Structure 1
Amino acid sequence: MPHRKDSSADGALEDPALLRRLLRAKDRMDAASHEAWPVMRLAGVSGVSEAHFARSFKRAFGIPPHRYLLTRRIEQAMTLLRDTDLSITEIAFATGWESLGTFGRIFRDITGRSPGAMRSEARADTPPLDRVPACVLKAAQRPDLTIAVLEKRRRARKDKVRPSTTEAT
């Protein structure tokens, strides 16, 4: 039996071209998660058949494409619940849900709390004056890029690789 390029013992993809196409579909879902993303549309973005896309996406990212999309929508809803005064209904529709009931049920399935309870907890834990915009938080949480990759590798290998530059403190 011939060896398939996209299969391995651990289930990871080995075909870089296929992985790039899957990442393209994943990026499109990230950019417009409020839109409908049926497997047929995602497969078209990736240039593969629907069945091959669904199998490959799950193998590459660990979850099926539909579950990934639901998770992204819930993440965005959690941010809106925490950081805005939009109603729960407005948040549900803004994040791509067609039904408030479905939004609430899936939100509870994924987070373990209702959207209203999540909003109450988030606001109780964060004083209003201490809230920081998401863009500032993301910038603060980015990895420190002042240390070169080689330096990080040297540290990981316990100084087996000589430093290429000196680190400023």
Structure 2
Amino acid sequence: MLVCVTLEDLVRLRRARDVMDRDYARPLDVPALAAVALMSPGHFSRSFRAAFGETPYSYLMTRRIERAKALLRRGDLSVTEVCFEVGCTSLGSFSSRFTELVGESPSAYRARRHEEGAAIPACVAKVFTRPVRAGRPGASGRPVRIGEADPAAAS
């Protein structure tokens, strides 16, 4: 099913995406986000996927995992505390999604040394540490730059 996203819809979708970026730790669901975008939940979900290439839930979980990675690198919170801090309500679901996106469990990620990236500005580090789901551009675990082939896609 082809969904055409109008410029007006895109503005509304960006408003909802901004809420996810800012309020990722709050309980957010499709009906609440659809209300922000002034759309029905079904139209919101279809339009969001058409505009951004992933479902609203997937986008929100990616934001939460990004934040969880930063908290785990600090090392002062347990995995359970990080799970709840980023807005997840199930440790099992959090750990499964974290492992799916990052390639290792939250405990293994937390235990690993992270000093080598400490000197990199956060805005640059965010680009290279963004969780990327397998089967999407950048599936090799690093972003694909314009004009560069993804090594994972070649295999």
State the TM-score, normalizing by the size of structure 1: 0.67
Which of 116, 121, 126 matches 2:115? 126
Q: Is the 8 A contact 2:75 2:110 kept in 1?
A: no
Q: Does 1:64 align with 2:55?
A: yes
Which of 90, 98, 115 matches 1:99? 90
Which of 29, 38, 54 matches 1:47? 38
Deviation at 1:34, TM superposition (A): 0.8
Q: 1:37 to 1:83 in 2, by over 3 A?
A: same
Q: Who wins on radius of gyration, i.e. which is larger?
A: 1
Q: State the partner residue of 1:138.
A: 123
Partner deviation per Cα, 1:61-82 (whole Å, 9 max, x = no partner): 0000011111111111011111
> Structure 2 counterpart of 1:137, which letter?
A
Q: Structure 2: any 5+ residue segments left out of the alignment? A: 128-155
Partner deviation per Cα, 1:26-85 (whole Å, 9 max, x = no partner): 000100101121111011000011111000000000000011111111111011111241
User: For 1:140 and 1:90, how far apart are their aligned partners in 2?
Assistant: 23
Greater relative contact order (Cα 8 A, min sep 6): structure 1 or 2? 2
> Structure 2 counterpart of 1:102, which letter?
S
Displacement over 6 Å in runs of 4+: 139-142
Partner deviation per Cα, 1:76-113 (whole Å, 9 max, x = no partner): 10111112411111101100111222211221122221
State the TM-score, normalizing by the size of structure 2: 0.72
Which of 43, 67, 73 matches 1:82? 73
Q: Structure 1: any 5+ residue segments left out of the alignment? A: 8-12, 143-169
Question: Once the two structures are aligned, what percentage of the paired residues are identical?
Answer: 41
Secondary structure of 1:97 counterpart: coil
Deviation at 1:137, TM superposition (A): 3.0
Number of aligned residue pairs: give it.
126
Q: Does 1:27 align with 2:18?
A: yes
Secondary structure of 2:58 counterpart: helix
User: For 2:43 and 2:84, how far apart are their aligned partners in 1?
Assistant: 31
> Structure 1 counterpart of 2:74, which letter?
D
